[in-house]
Chains A and B, each alone.
Chain A
Amino acid sequence: MHTTIKKVTIKSYLDFAQLIKEYQGSHEENRVFALKHKGALENPSKLVMLWTKTNLFRLRETADSENFLHHFSSVSNLIGFLFLLMGFFAGIGLLSYSGHAPVNIIYYLLFAMMIPLLSMLITIFSMISGGEVSNFFNLFFSLHWVEKFVNLFAFNSKIKTLNSSFPQTLKKWIFIHRLQLFSLLFSVGLLLSLLVMVVSKDIAFSWSTTLNVTPMAFHELLSWVAKPWEFLVPSAIPSVELVEMSQYFRLGETLNKEMVQNADKLGAWWQFLAMVTLIYAIFLRAILWLVSRYAYQKQLEKDFLEIEGMEMLIREFQTPYVSTEAPKVEQHLDIVEETDAQVKQNRRRAFNNIVGWNFSADEIALVNDSKEIKGVHIDIVGGSHTFSKDQEIARQISRTVLLYVKSWEPPTMDFVDFLELLIESKKVDEIHVYPLGTVGRYYASDAKEVAVWKRKIQGLKSKKVWVIDA
């Protein structure tokens, strides 16, 4: 099955976290889903994302991710644009050459190299440290405050809670990742302003410091800075003459004449400054940005698997679904409770016929003795007799009949068939069914068992049949 889902995203994170609270699916459903997407079975995250996508329609409200990402991306766009602008205008400011004083490249270097390097260093500290410590480092970044400020405008409290629902480490990586991007934009803005200024104006660059630095030493320093592009762009390394020439106080003495003359020579600085921006502010930052993106993705994937309910779902995906129950629901049998109808508490002592259902002749004799019951005719029915033999016996039975039954053996239809022969017989007046317990219990039967017989016989609705419950 072809799917476009590849990586865990903030959207997949939020969608799953929201969905699993409302819908978990049964083990059976989830396992069936997993088996349907066999290809994804060994990659749980991917399977979960597919599952989320399939089941997202079940959400009762709009997906949180929609609101959040909308907010998140508009805020990001805004901040990103702001940083680009800030970079650009910072550059314009730095490179503005009023005609009175040349542009001090040291200021520019401060923004294009020193501050970025420092901020990258802090970023790295924040990356490698965890928890409170990294939070502390983050306080140094303007983005931290900008975000705080922007969040104040996030009147949608849901977004706020979503924001804070991310695990701490993930939040850190989201922050660092965005920070790199915005810083990159800032530096791009800076570079752009440099290029714009160079194209549109003649800029006289100079350098000055209160420290006692000789042009030689300064040149030495700059060669170090320019090491990375020494071979690649040798023209972007200022020469000793240029460094000497552009020391501020020298320029100062002959500002008017020589400055104008040397303006294009002094302008050779721009290549150096462009390379500094490109390498230190942009290239290094881009690396950091990639690193942070990687780490953020890894963290997201890790935290994704730790969302509450995830473990359970994955377990259900991976565990074969075993069922043992009957798939169909059983029709429920209505039980009619027994009443007192057709029940005799005391028994007669003499019957015209005594019949034992599933008893042997000896057994019947034993019962008669013990219960002091007498009968004129004694017969055995049921058991291994055939039904036709029973029919024959039934024809001979007349007047009063005592029918011994084993109380523990429930009345089968076979018995009912025989009983009906007696009921239908005109010769028979009264039939007494006597459920007996086992010999071991001196024929005493269980009330529960007798109740079964009562119910059966009451169900026949014949006034001729009685159950003895003595």
Chain B
Amino acid sequence: MRNNKENVNDYPKFAVVGHPNKGKSSIVSSLALDDSVQIGDTPGTTQIKRGFPLKVDGKIIYELFDTPGFQRARRVLAWLNEQDAVSADKRSDVVREFVATHRHDDKFRDEIELLEPILDGAGIIYVVDASKPYGPEYEVEMEILRWCGQPSMAILNLIGDEDYRDQWKSALGHYFRMVRTFNPIEATFRDHMDLLESMAQLKEEWTKEIKVAITILDELHQQKVEQTIDAIVDNMIKTLSLVYKQEIKGEKATSKEEEDAKQGYRQQIMEYEKAQEKAIEFIWNHRSIEKIENVLVLDEVGLFSKESASIFGLSQNELILTGASAGAITGAGVDLMLAGHTLFIASLVGGVVGGVGAMFGFNNLYSLEILGQNLGKRELSIGPMKNLNFPYILLGRALYHASVIAKRSHALRESIKLEDEEFYTEQIINTEMRKKLEKVHIQLRKGEGPSNELLDEYKKVISRSFLGLLRE
């Protein structure tokens, strides 16, 4: 029974320790893909240790611990040195004794919190900020860690813009077998995996499990990519085929009713976009993002604005190249009528607009119909969207948002400004890809559901461009 329990508990553990405010929580947050971790420029942000297990169906593969920083390292070391000298293999017992003796001493609360997981068998990940010069005061901390006798490595984090890594490396080299640079804010998925590879080297017995973890995380990443593509494609179809209906009073719609309906139509599309963004943020574990104001300044650049069209849309040349030339609008209009809308009573309002209108204008680019419903109810119906550029604007925004979210470190607590990123839909979706997309767009514009083969093709194109963005 006891044996059993030990086995269950026998997974690799890592305690991320160090001086206060050096990015311990940031590193844990980014490795654990958990954006709920408290990170702040006030030292002592983390007050108690917290475990971040990687669990697969409830089974723990490894566990990371975030800990408070050292507060009274000198006094701990003094206590350890005061004890009777013991051989190196017994030193961890002395540390254990320290913890036992001072368990109720508030003075050493932080030290006890950080030492406990190590005494419980966790490997040590010592974090320093290598953008600041090295100082001998760190040796006290490293000395204490050495007393614990656990496998250990050091991580150089670069919080500021100076670089003292060489200094640090030569100092840390005396205490740690492995020294790695890892920037929790900028780390990519690959950096993350590389760090895990290093952690796998800490102890022979752990290597296998950490390799398993790497595979799992790789698959998880893959799944997230697929779910993201699905969310984007679903929203594209839902939005582009949206037909918005609104009741009207008289025979004909008043201009106010028409305006209201257009407003409602746009509102609906914007809500769809918001929901898609939420879904994608959820997929990538950015749960608390909504607490940060204006995470993406996409909000400021409205979906139906000129800016959005010029940033995310295609240029007119590209539109023509894609076959979505201005003339095609007329074609779509005719098709629409021939498609056999049985309830079709009134003629299309607006409709044929070419030139710049196709680029920026939205006002007259959805078909507007009045449907004489049974029981004498009349409805104004708007959609599907006929603006040729709109699908690309929508897709561009979605891909941009998704790629920012997918790459966003969980240690970030700030918003991202749109101008920080260079993004052009044209650059990530070439003409040939666009032709494939356009096939689906044409059908949606006609109010038809695209076939499965076309949709598969569509997904592939979007997936390709998304993966391209992730690699950047």
**Residue ranges of A at the interface with B (Cβ–Cβ < 8 Å):** 31-32, 35, 319-333, 335, 358, 382-388, 406, 408-414, 417, 438-441, 446, 448, 451-452, 455
Do the beta carbons of A327 and B45 come within 8 Å of each other? no
Residues from chain B with a CB closer than 8 A to the CB of A441 are 162
Provide the bound-state CA to CA distance between A35 and B72, in Å: 48
Selected contact of A383 from candidates B38, B56, B78, B136, CB within 8 Å: B136
Selected contact of B162 from candidates A329, A414, A438, CB within 8 Å: A438
Q: Indicate whether B84 reaches chain A with its CB closer than 8 angstroms.
A: no
Q: Indicate whether B21 reaches chain A with its CB closer than 8 angstroms.
A: yes
Do the beta carbons of A326 and B220 come within 8 Å of each other? no
Do the beta carbons of A325 and B70 come within 8 Å of each other? no
Residues from chain A with a CB closer than 8 A to the CB of B32 are 324-326
Do the beta carbons of B42 and A335 come within 8 Å of each other? yes
Do the beta carbons of A321 and B285 come within 8 Å of each other? no
Q: Indicate whether B355 reaches chain A with its CB closer than 8 angstroms.
A: no
Do the beta carbons of B223 and A408 come within 8 Å of each other? no
Q: Indicate whether B105 reaches chain A with its CB closer than 8 angstroms.
A: no
Whole-angstrom distance between the Cβ of B59 and the nearest chain A Cβ: 9
Do the beta carbons of A408 and B129 come within 8 Å of each other? yes
Selected contact of B137 from candidates A322, A335, A384, A440, CB within 8 Å: A384
Q: B163's closest neighbor in chain A, by CB?
A: A440
Do the beta carbons of B42 and A455 come within 8 Å of each other? yes
Q: Decide: A417 near B55, CB < 8 A? Known: A325-B33, A408-B132.
A: no
Stretch at the interface among B46-54, B260-268, B376-384, B389-397: B46-54
Do the beta carbons of A320 and B43 come within 8 Å of each other? no
Do the beta carbons of A410 and B57 come within 8 Å of each other? no
19 contacts between A and B (CB under 8 A): A31-B57, A319-B223, A322-B220, A325-B285, A327-B53, A333-B47, A384-B139, A385-B74, A408-B129, A408-B132, A410-B44, A412-B20, A412-B69, A413-B71, A413-B107, A414-B71, A448-B41, A452-B43, A455-B42
**Residue ranges of B at the interface with A (Cβ–Cβ < 8 Å):** 19-21, 31-34, 36-38, 40-45, 47-48, 50-58, 66, 69-75, 78, 107, 110, 129, 132-133, 135-137, 139-140, 160, 162, 216-217, 220, 223, 285
Whole-angstrom distance between the Cβ of B410 and the nearest chain A Cβ: 9
Do the beta carbons of A414 and B132 come within 8 Å of each other? no
Provide the bound-state CA to CA distance between A31 and B53, in Å: 18
Do the beta carbons of A409 and B56 come within 8 Å of each other? no
Provide the bound-state CA to CA distance between A358 and B217, in Å: 42
Provide the bound-state CA to CA distance between A4 and B306, in Å: 60
Q: Decide: A321 near B57, CB < 8 A? Known: A438-B162, A452-B41.
A: yes
Do the beta carbons of B20 and A333 come within 8 Å of each other? no
Q: A34's closest neighbor in chain B, by CB?
A: B57
Provide the bound-state CA to CA distance between A31 and B223, in Å: 15
Provide the bound-state CA to CA distance between A429 and B304, in Å: 66
Do the beta carbons of A322 and B216 come within 8 Å of each other? yes
Do the beta carbons of A326 and B57 come within 8 Å of each other? no
Do the beta carbons of A408 and B160 come within 8 Å of each other? yes
Whole-angstrom distance between the Cβ of A157 and the nearest chain B Cβ: 12
Provide the bound-state CA to CA distance between A382 and B54, in Å: 39
Do the beta carbons of A413 and B72 come within 8 Å of each other? yes
Q: Decide: A384 near B33, CB < 8 A? Known: A327-B53, A330-B50.
A: no
Provide the bound-state CA to CA distance between A446 and B159, in Å: 13
Q: A416's closest neighbor in chain B, by CB?
A: B71
Provide the bound-state CA to CA distance between A440 and B134, in Å: 13
